[in-house]
């Protein structure tokens, strides 16, 4: 079955591969490892559509890993704003600096895994796609395809060991990078989470999930736990066409990023901090945002003609606020005030 599956999938990929800015077309030389690594980091828990403009902006500004290594971390964080999971951006800079010191990316999965922020998946993807190494590449799309192909019915995440073993069994020795990308394309466009397009699938006749009934029921997922909701307040302090922005602590949630001053909701969880200046505040409403492990309801209050707050910060021109690189939560708060 293994050779049949890989041959069918690669034939399908040769005809239907997505045209993506970080990829080489089937039969072309492998892409720059920097572009593969950057795209894979960006694509973690983020859609291709969301990543494309960020990838193009990053590679225009920092076309090589050495350029990214030389960039100030705060510039990279600002350029990353809106992609979420900001520890990825901090690790991006750290890894770029290690790679620049080494004189280039290592070409094996084991050595790639030693770079900051590169887990098993990213190391395998870069090894396979950029260096042609045989590596077992398993992302959410591959989990879905393989669960259905082999009818693996143990719920996630417990089934991941069986999924990896099954993926290993069908990964070919040659064209491992194309095979990995073919699996991703199949999962994103054909073997979708809802309403899989089985009639268009090159593996339909080999799919045990299809033969046994409804493949859309796979993979089985354990029930999600309800996210707790935190409460907090952010303050919009305005003066002469500018708003007061602070730099968040370098570690922790949204670390190192510009933001509106707030009541410490991320550190304490109870929103118990006091306003940074005295005076009369105008309630502007509430913005809601979901993080990985909790949601936040952030009340936004405004004061204009305000005095200079104590502590470190900067007056940022409101007309140029898009250039501040505010994380999504605070960008939502800004839009609420400016609506």
Write out the catalytic residue numbers: 40
Supply 322's token pair.
Answer: 């898009």
C-alpha–C-alpha distance, residues 124 and 135, integer Å: 5
Contact (CB, 8 A) for 257 and 328: no
Return the ∠ at Cα 9 (arms to 6 and 12), rounded to 5°. Answer: 150
Sign of the C-alpha dihedral computed for residues 64, 87, 221 and 113 taken in this order: positive
3-class SS letters over the chain:
CHHHHHHHHHHHHHHHCCCCCCCCCCCCCCCCHHHHHHHHHHHCCCCHHHHHHHHHHHHHHCCCHHHHHHCCHHHHHHHHCCCCCCHHHHHHHHHHHHHHHHCCCCCCHHHHCCCCCCCHHHHHHHHHHHHCCCCCCCCHHHHHHHHHHCCCCCCECCCHHHHHHHHHHHCCCCCHHHHHHHHHHHHHHCCCCCCCCHHHCCCHHHCHHHHCCCHHHCCCECCCCCCCEEEEEEEEEEECCEEEEEECCCCCCCCCCEECCECCHHHHCCCCCCCCCCCCCEEEEEEEEECCCCEEEEEEEEEECCCCCCCCCEEEEHHHHHHHCCCHHHHHHHHHHHC
């Amino acid at each position: 079955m293994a050779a049949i599956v890989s041959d069918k999938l690669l034939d399908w990929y040769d005809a239907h591969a997505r045209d993506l800015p970080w990829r080489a077309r089937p039969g072309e030389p492998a892409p720059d490892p920097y572009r593969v690594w950057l795209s894979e980091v960006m694509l973690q828990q983020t859609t291709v559509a969301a990543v494309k403009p960020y990838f193009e902006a990053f590679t225009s500004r920092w076309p090589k890993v050495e350029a990214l290594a030389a960039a100030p971390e705060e510039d990279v964080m600002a350029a990353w704003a809106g992609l979420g999971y900001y520890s990825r951006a901090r690790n991006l800079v750290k890894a770029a600096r290690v790679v620049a010191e080494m004189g280039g990316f290592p070409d094996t999965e084991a050595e790639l895994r030693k770079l900051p922020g590169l887990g098993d998946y990213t190391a395998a993807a870069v090894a396979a796609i950029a260096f042609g190494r045989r590596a077992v590449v398993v992302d959410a799309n591959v989990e879905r395809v393989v669960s259905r192909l082999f009818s693996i019915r143990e719920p996630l995440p417990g089934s991941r060991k069986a999924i990896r073993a099954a993926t290993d069994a069908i990964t070919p020795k040659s064209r491992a990078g194309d095979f990995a990308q073919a699996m991703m394309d199949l999962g994103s466009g054909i073997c979708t989470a809802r309403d899989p397009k089985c009639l268009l699938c090159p593996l339909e006749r080999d799919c045990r999930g299809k033969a046994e009934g409804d493949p859309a029921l796979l993979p089985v997922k354990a029930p999600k736990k309800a996210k707790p909701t935190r409460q907090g307040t952010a303050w919009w302090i305005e003066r002469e066409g500018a708003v007061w922005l602070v730099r968040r602590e370098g570690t922790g949630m949204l670390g190192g990023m510009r933001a509106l001053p707030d009541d410490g909701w991320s550190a304490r969880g109870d929103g118990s901090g006091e306003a940074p200046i005295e005076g009369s505040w105008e309630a502007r409403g509430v913005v809601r945002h979901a993080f990985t492990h909790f949601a936040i309801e952030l009340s936004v209050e405004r004061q204009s003609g305000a005095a200079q707050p104590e502590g470190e910060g900067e007056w940022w021109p409101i007309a140029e606020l898009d250039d501040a690189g505010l994380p999504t939560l605070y960008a939502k708060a800004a839009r609420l005030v400016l609506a």
